[in-house]
Amino acid sequence: MTTIFDPLRFSAVSMDMAVCARGPTYAIAARQQSRLVSLLASAMQDSGFYREHLRGVDPCQASLSELPPVSRQALMARFDDWVTDPQIKLADLRTFTADAQRIGQAYLGQYLVWESSGTSHQPGIFVQNAQTMAIYDALEALRRSAPRPLQRWLDPLALAERIAYVGATSGHFASYVSLLRLRQLHPWLAPSLRSFSILQAARSLVDQLNTFEPTVIATYPTVAAVLADEAERGTLNFAPNEIWTGGENLSQALRQRLEATFGCAVRNSYGASEFMSIAWECSQQRLHLNADWVILEPVDALGQPVPAGEWSYTTLLTNLANRVQPLIRYDLGDQVRVDHTPCGCGSALPVIEVLGRRDDALIMAGRRGQLVTLLPLALTTVLEDEAGVFDFHLCQRDARTLLLRLAVQGPEGEAAAQRCRRALNKFADAQELMPIKLLCELGQTMPRGPSGKGKRIVACRAK
Protein backbone atom coordinates (compact mmCIF):
# COMPACT_ATOMS: atom_id res chain seq x y z
CA MET A 1 0.00 0.00 0.00
CA THR A 2 1.44 3.35 -1.03
CA THR A 3 1.16 6.63 0.83
CA ILE A 4 2.65 10.08 0.35
CA PHE A 5 5.41 11.89 2.22
CA ASP A 6 7.85 14.65 1.24
CA PRO A 7 10.73 14.61 3.78
CA LEU A 8 12.54 17.59 2.22
CA ARG A 9 9.42 19.75 2.28
CA PHE A 10 8.67 18.61 5.83
CA SER A 11 12.18 19.58 6.97
CA ALA A 12 12.06 22.99 5.29
CA VAL A 13 8.60 23.81 6.65
CA SER A 14 9.56 22.61 10.12
CA MET A 15 12.58 24.91 10.19
CA ASP A 16 10.43 27.86 9.14
CA MET A 17 7.82 27.06 11.80
CA ALA A 18 10.51 26.83 14.47
CA VAL A 19 11.74 30.30 13.54
CA CYS A 20 8.18 31.66 13.35
CA ALA A 21 6.97 30.07 16.60
CA ARG A 22 8.17 32.86 18.89
CA GLY A 23 8.59 35.50 16.24
CA PRO A 24 6.87 38.88 16.22
CA THR A 25 3.43 39.48 14.76
CA TYR A 26 4.82 41.36 11.75
CA ALA A 27 6.91 38.31 10.75
CA ILE A 28 3.81 36.11 10.78
CA ALA A 29 1.92 38.72 8.71
CA ALA A 30 4.76 38.89 6.18
CA ARG A 31 4.73 35.12 5.67
CA GLN A 32 0.97 35.15 5.34
CA GLN A 33 0.96 37.90 2.71
CA SER A 34 3.76 36.35 0.66
CA ARG A 35 2.00 33.01 0.59
CA LEU A 36 -1.33 34.63 -0.26
CA VAL A 37 0.14 36.38 -3.31
CA SER A 38 1.66 33.10 -4.47
CA LEU A 39 -1.63 31.23 -3.91
CA LEU A 40 -3.66 33.77 -5.88
CA ALA A 41 -1.23 33.66 -8.80
CA SER A 42 -1.19 29.86 -8.82
CA ALA A 43 -4.98 29.53 -8.58
CA MET A 44 -5.63 32.02 -11.37
CA GLN A 45 -3.13 30.27 -13.61
CA ASP A 46 -4.04 26.63 -12.99
CA SER A 47 -7.70 26.54 -11.90
CA GLY A 48 -10.37 27.21 -14.51
CA PHE A 49 -12.87 28.09 -11.79
CA TYR A 50 -10.62 30.71 -10.19
CA ARG A 51 -9.60 32.21 -13.54
CA GLU A 52 -13.27 33.15 -13.92
CA HIS A 53 -13.97 33.85 -10.26
CA LEU A 54 -11.00 36.21 -9.87
CA ARG A 55 -10.95 37.68 -13.36
CA GLY A 56 -9.23 41.07 -13.37
CA VAL A 57 -7.58 40.60 -9.98
CA ASP A 58 -3.90 41.49 -9.62
CA PRO A 59 -2.43 38.92 -7.18
CA CYS A 60 0.26 41.34 -6.06
CA GLN A 61 -2.13 44.20 -5.34
CA ALA A 62 -5.31 42.41 -4.29
CA SER A 63 -6.84 42.94 -0.86
CA LEU A 64 -8.18 39.64 0.39
CA SER A 65 -11.26 41.23 1.98
CA GLU A 66 -12.32 42.64 -1.41
CA LEU A 67 -12.28 39.25 -3.20
CA PRO A 68 -15.60 37.43 -3.66
CA PRO A 69 -16.21 34.53 -1.23
CA VAL A 70 -17.00 30.99 -2.39
CA SER A 71 -19.25 28.25 -1.05
CA ARG A 72 -18.75 24.51 -0.97
CA GLN A 73 -21.79 24.09 -3.21
CA ALA A 74 -20.29 26.33 -5.91
CA LEU A 75 -16.92 24.61 -5.78
CA MET A 76 -18.28 21.06 -5.82
CA ALA A 77 -20.51 21.97 -8.79
CA ARG A 78 -17.36 22.93 -10.72
CA PHE A 79 -15.02 20.37 -9.16
CA ASP A 80 -13.12 19.36 -12.30
CA ASP A 81 -12.52 23.04 -13.15
CA TRP A 82 -11.68 23.88 -9.54
CA VAL A 83 -8.76 21.48 -9.06
CA THR A 84 -5.45 22.39 -10.69
CA ASP A 85 -4.44 18.88 -11.82
CA PRO A 86 -6.55 17.84 -14.85
CA GLN A 87 -6.00 14.17 -13.95
CA ILE A 88 -8.25 14.61 -10.92
CA LYS A 89 -11.88 13.92 -11.82
CA LEU A 90 -14.83 14.02 -9.44
CA ALA A 91 -16.45 10.92 -10.96
CA ASP A 92 -13.25 8.93 -10.42
CA LEU A 93 -12.91 10.25 -6.88
CA ARG A 94 -16.46 9.21 -6.04
CA THR A 95 -15.64 5.69 -7.24
CA PHE A 96 -12.44 5.77 -5.19
CA THR A 97 -14.14 6.91 -1.97
CA ALA A 98 -16.99 4.42 -2.43
CA ASP A 99 -14.45 1.61 -1.94
CA ALA A 100 -13.76 1.05 1.76
CA GLN A 101 -10.75 -1.08 0.84
CA ARG A 102 -9.01 2.03 -0.47
CA ILE A 103 -9.28 4.12 2.69
CA GLY A 104 -5.83 5.61 3.32
CA GLN A 105 -4.45 4.72 -0.11
CA ALA A 106 -2.99 7.33 -2.45
CA TYR A 107 -5.28 8.38 -5.30
CA LEU A 108 -3.37 8.36 -8.60
CA GLY A 109 -0.38 7.40 -6.48
CA GLN A 110 0.12 10.98 -5.29
CA TYR A 111 -2.93 12.36 -3.48
CA LEU A 112 -4.42 11.72 -0.06
CA VAL A 113 -8.20 11.89 -0.19
CA TRP A 114 -10.79 12.50 2.48
CA GLU A 115 -14.50 13.16 2.58
CA SER A 116 -16.24 15.69 4.76
CA SER A 117 -19.49 15.20 6.61
CA GLY A 118 -22.57 17.00 5.42
CA THR A 119 -22.98 19.49 8.27
CA SER A 120 -23.41 22.16 5.61
CA HIS A 121 -25.85 19.81 3.81
CA GLN A 122 -23.34 19.32 0.99
CA PRO A 123 -20.66 16.63 1.36
CA GLY A 124 -17.22 17.51 0.11
CA ILE A 125 -14.18 15.67 -1.21
CA PHE A 126 -10.72 17.08 -0.56
CA VAL A 127 -7.35 16.07 -2.01
CA GLN A 128 -3.88 16.82 -0.69
CA ASN A 129 -0.50 16.17 -2.27
CA ALA A 130 2.73 15.37 -0.43
CA GLN A 131 3.71 19.04 -0.22
CA THR A 132 0.45 19.99 1.51
CA MET A 133 0.67 17.01 3.86
CA ALA A 134 4.23 18.03 4.81
CA ILE A 135 2.81 21.33 6.10
CA TYR A 136 0.03 19.59 8.02
CA ASP A 137 2.57 17.09 9.42
CA ALA A 138 4.84 19.90 10.62
CA LEU A 139 1.96 21.78 12.23
CA GLU A 140 0.89 18.66 14.10
CA ALA A 141 4.45 17.76 15.14
CA LEU A 142 5.64 21.21 16.24
CA ARG A 143 2.62 23.20 17.37
CA ARG A 144 0.62 20.80 19.50
CA SER A 145 1.19 21.51 23.19
CA ALA A 146 2.57 18.60 25.20
CA PRO A 147 1.19 18.44 28.76
CA ARG A 148 4.03 16.08 29.75
CA PRO A 149 7.13 17.79 28.29
CA LEU A 150 9.66 15.55 30.07
CA GLN A 151 7.92 12.43 28.75
CA ARG A 152 7.89 13.90 25.22
CA TRP A 153 11.58 14.82 25.48
CA LEU A 154 12.51 11.29 26.55
CA ASP A 155 10.17 9.69 24.02
CA PRO A 156 9.71 12.10 21.05
CA LEU A 157 8.21 9.42 18.79
CA ALA A 158 5.69 8.34 21.46
CA LEU A 159 6.99 4.77 21.24
CA ALA A 160 5.97 4.14 24.84
CA GLU A 161 2.38 5.27 24.23
CA ARG A 162 -0.62 3.20 23.18
CA ILE A 163 -2.84 5.60 21.24
CA ALA A 164 -6.50 4.78 20.63
CA TYR A 165 -8.44 6.73 18.02
CA VAL A 166 -12.16 6.35 18.76
CA GLY A 167 -14.23 7.71 15.92
CA ALA A 168 -15.77 7.07 12.52
CA THR A 169 -13.83 4.35 10.69
CA SER A 170 -16.29 3.48 7.93
CA GLY A 171 -15.24 6.10 5.38
CA HIS A 172 -12.47 8.28 4.01
CA PHE A 173 -12.59 10.73 6.92
CA ALA A 174 -9.61 12.98 7.59
CA SER A 175 -8.76 11.72 11.07
CA TYR A 176 -9.06 8.05 10.15
CA VAL A 177 -7.19 8.41 6.85
CA SER A 178 -4.44 10.31 8.67
CA LEU A 179 -4.13 7.54 11.25
CA LEU A 180 -3.82 4.88 8.55
CA ARG A 181 -1.20 6.98 6.79
CA LEU A 182 0.79 7.32 10.02
CA ARG A 183 0.76 3.54 10.46
CA GLN A 184 1.99 3.11 6.90
CA LEU A 185 4.79 5.66 7.30
CA HIS A 186 5.91 4.23 10.64
CA PRO A 187 5.13 0.48 10.68
CA TRP A 188 6.75 0.06 14.09
CA LEU A 189 3.97 2.24 15.53
CA ALA A 190 1.20 0.01 14.17
CA PRO A 191 0.85 -2.20 17.30
CA SER A 192 0.54 0.86 19.55
CA LEU A 193 -1.71 2.96 17.28
CA ARG A 194 -5.19 1.53 16.83
CA SER A 195 -8.63 2.71 15.77
CA PHE A 196 -11.99 1.81 17.33
CA SER A 197 -15.34 2.37 15.66
CA ILE A 198 -18.04 4.44 17.35
CA LEU A 199 -20.70 2.52 15.42
CA GLN A 200 -20.40 -0.51 17.69
CA ALA A 201 -22.24 -1.04 20.97
CA ALA A 202 -20.74 0.69 24.01
CA ARG A 203 -20.18 -2.68 25.71
CA SER A 204 -18.12 -3.92 22.76
CA LEU A 205 -16.14 -0.66 22.58
CA VAL A 206 -15.35 -0.82 26.30
CA ASP A 207 -14.19 -4.45 26.00
CA GLN A 208 -11.86 -3.57 23.11
CA LEU A 209 -10.41 -0.56 24.90
CA ASN A 210 -9.90 -2.56 28.07
CA THR A 211 -7.93 -5.13 26.09
CA PHE A 212 -5.77 -2.47 24.42
CA GLU A 213 -5.36 -0.33 27.58
CA PRO A 214 -4.54 2.93 25.78
CA THR A 215 -2.40 5.59 27.41
CA VAL A 216 -3.79 8.23 25.03
CA ILE A 217 -7.34 8.50 23.69
CA ALA A 218 -8.02 10.67 20.62
CA THR A 219 -11.72 11.23 20.09
CA TYR A 220 -14.68 13.62 19.99
CA PRO A 221 -15.98 15.36 23.14
CA THR A 222 -19.31 13.47 23.04
CA VAL A 223 -17.44 10.15 22.84
CA ALA A 224 -15.16 11.18 25.69
CA ALA A 225 -18.27 11.97 27.76
CA VAL A 226 -19.60 8.44 27.17
CA LEU A 227 -16.25 6.97 28.21
CA ALA A 228 -16.42 9.09 31.36
CA ASP A 229 -19.84 7.56 32.07
CA GLU A 230 -18.31 4.09 31.71
CA ALA A 231 -15.38 5.01 33.94
CA GLU A 232 -17.75 6.24 36.64
CA ARG A 233 -19.63 2.93 36.40
CA GLY A 234 -16.35 1.09 36.89
CA THR A 235 -16.37 -0.71 33.55
CA LEU A 236 -13.04 0.72 32.31
CA ASN A 237 -9.90 -0.95 33.67
CA PHE A 238 -7.33 1.48 32.29
CA ALA A 239 -6.32 5.04 33.07
CA PRO A 240 -5.17 7.20 30.14
CA ASN A 241 -2.44 9.77 30.58
CA GLU A 242 -3.97 12.14 28.02
CA ILE A 243 -7.25 12.68 26.18
CA TRP A 244 -7.13 14.52 22.84
CA THR A 245 -10.40 16.00 21.64
CA GLY A 246 -11.51 17.74 18.45
CA GLY A 247 -14.28 17.93 15.87
CA GLU A 248 -16.95 19.17 18.28
CA ASN A 249 -17.42 21.87 20.87
CA LEU A 250 -15.55 21.10 24.12
CA SER A 251 -17.22 22.92 26.99
CA GLN A 252 -15.30 23.93 30.08
CA ALA A 253 -17.66 21.81 32.17
CA LEU A 254 -16.90 18.69 30.11
CA ARG A 255 -13.16 19.39 30.20
CA GLN A 256 -13.28 19.61 33.99
CA ARG A 257 -15.34 16.44 34.21
CA LEU A 258 -12.89 14.50 32.02
CA GLU A 259 -9.92 15.77 34.01
CA ALA A 260 -11.58 14.80 37.30
CA THR A 261 -12.83 11.41 36.12
CA PHE A 262 -9.65 10.24 34.41
CA GLY A 263 -7.12 12.28 36.36
CA CYS A 264 -5.31 13.22 33.17
CA ALA A 265 -4.63 16.14 30.86
CA VAL A 266 -7.18 17.06 28.19
CA ARG A 267 -5.88 18.60 24.96
CA ASN A 268 -8.17 20.22 22.43
CA SER A 269 -7.58 21.24 18.81
CA TYR A 270 -9.51 22.74 15.90
CA GLY A 271 -9.35 21.44 12.37
CA ALA A 272 -11.53 20.73 9.36
CA SER A 273 -11.47 18.77 6.14
CA GLU A 274 -10.65 22.06 4.43
CA PHE A 275 -7.52 22.56 6.57
CA MET A 276 -6.46 19.81 8.90
CA SER A 277 -4.72 21.83 11.63
CA ILE A 278 -6.41 25.21 11.91
CA ALA A 279 -5.56 25.86 15.56
CA TRP A 280 -3.72 24.23 18.45
CA GLU A 281 -4.17 24.52 22.20
CA CYS A 282 -1.32 25.95 24.25
CA SER A 283 -0.46 25.36 27.89
CA GLN A 284 -2.94 28.12 28.82
CA GLN A 285 -5.78 26.14 27.19
CA ARG A 286 -6.20 28.78 24.49
CA LEU A 287 -6.51 27.99 20.78
CA HIS A 288 -3.84 29.60 18.59
CA LEU A 289 -4.57 30.02 14.90
CA ASN A 290 -1.85 28.76 12.56
CA ALA A 291 -2.00 32.13 10.84
CA ASP A 292 1.19 31.62 8.86
CA TRP A 293 -0.56 28.90 6.83
CA VAL A 294 -4.30 29.58 7.12
CA ILE A 295 -6.36 32.78 7.16
CA LEU A 296 -9.69 32.97 8.99
CA GLU A 297 -12.00 35.96 8.49
CA PRO A 298 -14.86 36.12 11.01
CA VAL A 299 -17.67 37.96 9.19
CA ASP A 300 -21.27 39.02 9.80
CA ALA A 301 -24.35 38.04 7.78
CA LEU A 302 -23.40 40.60 5.11
CA GLY A 303 -19.85 39.30 4.80
CA GLN A 304 -18.33 42.22 6.67
CA PRO A 305 -15.62 41.75 9.33
CA VAL A 306 -16.84 41.51 12.90
CA PRO A 307 -14.98 43.33 15.68
CA ALA A 308 -12.57 41.37 17.85
CA GLY A 309 -14.36 39.71 20.75
CA GLU A 310 -17.65 39.29 18.87
CA TRP A 311 -18.94 35.99 17.50
CA SER A 312 -19.08 35.79 13.74
CA TYR A 313 -22.11 34.78 11.67
CA THR A 314 -19.77 32.58 9.64
CA THR A 315 -16.06 32.36 8.88
CA LEU A 316 -14.18 32.59 5.59
CA LEU A 317 -11.13 30.33 5.26
CA THR A 318 -8.15 30.73 2.93
CA ASN A 319 -5.84 27.71 2.78
CA LEU A 320 -2.27 28.85 2.03
CA ALA A 321 -0.94 25.28 1.93
CA ASN A 322 -3.00 23.54 -0.77
CA ARG A 323 -2.34 24.51 -4.38
CA VAL A 324 -4.06 21.44 -5.87
CA GLN A 325 -7.51 22.40 -4.59
CA PRO A 326 -7.38 26.13 -3.81
CA LEU A 327 -9.64 27.52 -1.11
CA ILE A 328 -9.81 31.31 -1.13
CA ARG A 329 -12.36 33.04 1.11
CA TYR A 330 -14.23 29.75 1.45
CA ASP A 331 -17.37 29.88 3.61
CA LEU A 332 -16.48 27.41 6.37
CA GLY A 333 -19.74 27.91 8.24
CA ASP A 334 -18.18 27.88 11.72
CA GLN A 335 -18.71 30.65 14.26
CA VAL A 336 -15.45 32.11 15.54
CA ARG A 337 -14.33 35.06 17.60
CA VAL A 338 -10.84 36.51 17.94
CA ASP A 339 -9.29 37.37 21.29
CA HIS A 340 -6.45 39.90 21.05
CA THR A 341 -5.48 39.56 24.72
CA PRO A 342 -1.79 38.52 24.83
CA CYS A 343 -1.38 34.87 25.74
CA GLY A 344 0.72 33.82 28.71
CA CYS A 345 2.33 31.04 26.66
CA GLY A 346 4.31 33.66 24.71
CA SER A 347 3.07 32.79 21.22
CA ALA A 348 2.25 35.71 18.92
CA LEU A 349 -0.14 33.56 16.86
CA PRO A 350 -3.73 34.85 17.17
CA VAL A 351 -6.03 33.37 19.80
CA ILE A 352 -9.49 32.26 18.68
CA GLU A 353 -12.59 30.68 20.19
CA VAL A 354 -14.77 28.34 18.14
CA LEU A 355 -18.34 27.12 18.33
CA GLY A 356 -18.03 23.66 16.81
CA ARG A 357 -20.59 20.95 16.26
CA ARG A 358 -23.25 20.99 18.96
CA ASP A 359 -25.42 18.01 18.07
CA ASP A 360 -26.88 16.14 21.03
CA ALA A 361 -26.27 12.63 22.25
CA LEU A 362 -29.55 10.68 22.48
CA ILE A 363 -30.34 8.56 25.56
CA MET A 364 -32.49 5.61 24.45
CA ALA A 365 -33.96 2.49 26.08
CA GLY A 366 -31.78 -0.62 25.92
CA ARG A 367 -32.85 -4.25 25.60
CA ARG A 368 -31.38 -5.19 28.99
CA GLY A 369 -33.21 -2.45 30.86
CA GLN A 370 -30.26 -0.10 30.63
CA LEU A 371 -30.06 3.34 29.05
CA VAL A 372 -27.98 3.53 25.87
CA THR A 373 -26.25 6.66 24.60
CA LEU A 374 -26.35 7.15 20.84
CA LEU A 375 -23.48 9.37 19.75
CA PRO A 376 -24.41 12.18 17.33
CA LEU A 377 -21.42 11.50 15.10
CA ALA A 378 -22.39 7.83 14.88
CA LEU A 379 -25.96 8.73 13.91
CA THR A 380 -24.87 11.19 11.21
CA THR A 381 -22.35 8.66 9.87
CA VAL A 382 -25.08 6.00 9.60
CA LEU A 383 -27.50 8.34 7.81
CA GLU A 384 -24.87 9.76 5.46
CA ASP A 385 -22.87 6.62 4.64
CA GLU A 386 -25.54 3.93 4.76
CA ALA A 387 -28.71 5.84 3.84
CA GLY A 388 -27.10 8.45 1.60
CA VAL A 389 -28.94 11.46 3.08
CA PHE A 390 -27.27 14.68 4.15
CA ASP A 391 -30.06 17.22 4.58
CA PHE A 392 -31.93 15.88 7.60
CA HIS A 393 -33.08 16.68 11.11
CA LEU A 394 -33.35 13.85 13.65
CA CYS A 395 -35.30 14.75 16.78
CA GLN A 396 -35.89 12.45 19.75
CA ARG A 397 -39.47 12.23 20.98
CA ASP A 398 -38.93 9.77 23.84
CA ALA A 399 -36.69 6.85 24.84
CA ARG A 400 -38.01 4.71 21.98
CA THR A 401 -39.21 7.20 19.35
CA LEU A 402 -37.34 9.33 16.83
CA LEU A 403 -38.69 11.87 14.34
CA LEU A 404 -36.74 12.18 11.10
CA ARG A 405 -37.35 15.21 8.89
CA LEU A 406 -36.06 15.13 5.31
CA ALA A 407 -35.95 17.94 2.76
CA VAL A 408 -36.80 15.66 -0.18
CA GLN A 409 -40.36 14.57 -0.89
CA GLY A 410 -42.39 12.46 -3.32
CA PRO A 411 -40.97 9.12 -4.55
CA GLU A 412 -37.41 10.32 -3.87
CA GLY A 413 -38.35 11.20 -0.31
CA GLU A 414 -40.13 7.88 0.28
CA ALA A 415 -37.09 5.97 -0.97
CA ALA A 416 -34.78 8.03 1.24
CA ALA A 417 -37.05 7.44 4.25
CA GLN A 418 -36.95 3.67 3.67
CA ARG A 419 -33.14 3.72 3.48
CA CYS A 420 -33.03 5.69 6.72
CA ARG A 421 -35.38 3.26 8.45
CA ARG A 422 -33.27 0.27 7.44
CA ALA A 423 -30.02 1.96 8.43
CA LEU A 424 -31.29 3.26 11.78
CA ASN A 425 -32.97 -0.03 12.72
CA LYS A 426 -29.79 -1.93 11.92
CA PHE A 427 -27.78 0.53 14.01
CA ALA A 428 -30.28 0.37 16.87
CA ASP A 429 -30.03 -3.42 16.91
CA ALA A 430 -26.23 -3.26 17.01
CA GLN A 431 -26.48 -0.81 19.91
CA GLU A 432 -28.69 -3.24 21.85
CA LEU A 433 -31.70 -0.92 21.87
CA MET A 434 -35.32 -1.82 22.35
CA PRO A 435 -37.12 -1.67 18.96
CA ILE A 436 -37.39 1.97 17.97
CA LYS A 437 -40.26 3.79 16.31
CA LEU A 438 -39.13 6.08 13.52
CA LEU A 439 -41.52 8.78 12.36
CA CYS A 440 -40.74 10.50 9.06
CA GLU A 441 -41.78 13.88 7.71
CA LEU A 442 -40.89 14.68 4.11
CA GLY A 443 -40.49 17.98 2.29
CA GLN A 444 -39.46 19.82 5.44
CA THR A 445 -37.39 22.97 5.66
CA MET A 446 -34.37 22.09 7.72
CA PRO A 447 -33.58 24.30 10.73
CA ARG A 448 -30.34 26.21 10.24
CA GLY A 449 -28.01 27.82 12.74
CA PRO A 450 -26.75 31.40 12.43
CA SER A 451 -24.01 30.30 10.03
CA GLY A 452 -26.21 28.10 7.87
CA LYS A 453 -25.02 24.89 9.49
CA GLY A 454 -27.88 23.07 11.08
CA LYS A 455 -28.07 21.21 14.39
CA ARG A 456 -29.08 17.88 12.97
CA ILE A 457 -29.41 15.66 16.07
CA VAL A 458 -31.64 16.97 18.87
CA ALA A 459 -32.40 15.21 22.15
CA CYS A 460 -35.74 15.46 23.89
CA ARG A 461 -35.68 17.68 26.93
CA ALA A 462 -37.01 16.71 30.32
CA LYS A 463 -40.20 18.59 31.16
> Is 307 exposed, middle or buried, given 0-12, 13-18 or 19+ CB atoms closer than 10 A?
exposed
Spatial CB neighbours of 119, under 8 Å, sequence gap ≥ 6: 333, 357, 380, 453, 454, 456
Instruction: Give residue 419's Cα distance to chain centre.
Output: 26
Confidence (pLDDT) at 154: 46
Query: Which domains can be identified in the chain, with CATH numbers?
Result: 7-355 (3.40.50.12780), 362-458 (3.30.300.30)
Report CA Rg, the chain: 22
Q: How does pLDDT run across 61-95, given as a tens digit for each residue?
A: 999 999 999 999 999 999 999 999 999 999 999 99
Report whether 420 contacts 387 (CB < 8 A).
Answer: yes
Instruction: Assign 338 a pLDDT band (cuts: 50, 70, 90).
Output: very high
C-beta pairs of 379-384 under 8 Å, 24+ apart in sequence: 379/424, 379/427, 379/457, 380/117, 380/118, 380/119, 380/456, 380/457, 381/117, 381/168, 381/170, 381/171, 381/198, 381/199, 382/199, 382/423, 382/424, 382/427, 383/420, 383/423, 383/424, 384/117, 384/118, 384/123
Maximum distance among all alpha carbons in the chain? 67
Report whether 451 contacts 313 (CB < 8 A).
Answer: yes
Q: What are phi and psi of 388, to 5 degrees?
A: 70, 30
Q: What Å distances lie between residue 107 and 104, 113, 184, 190, 277, CA to CA?
A: 9, 7, 15, 22, 22
Q: What are phi and psi of 448, to 5 degrees?
A: -120, 150
Q: How does pLDDT run across 131-184, given as a tens digit for each residue?
A: 999 999 999 888 875 555 545 544 545 567 899 999 999 899 999 999 999 899
Report whether 315 contacts 335 (CB < 8 A).
Answer: yes
**Of 200, 165, 169, 197, nearest in space to 100 by CA:** 169
Give CA–CA dist 100/81, Å, rounded.
Answer: 27
Angle between helices 7-21 and 130-143 (to 10 degrees): 40
- Check whether 201 has a pLDDT greater than 80: yes
The angle formed by the CA atoms of residues 110, 291 and 37, to the nearest 5 degrees, is 70
Q: How does pLDDT run across 208-244, given as a tens digit for each residue?
A: 999 999 999 999 999 999 999 999 999 999 999 999 9
Q: How does pLDDT run across 34-66, given as a tens digit for each residue?
A: 999 999 999 999 999 999 999 999 999 999 999
* Sequence-ordered alpha helix ranges (H) in 78-129: 79-82, 90-98
Report whether 333 contacts 120 (CB < 8 A).
Answer: yes
> Which of the two residues, 176 and 122, has the higher pLDDT score?
176
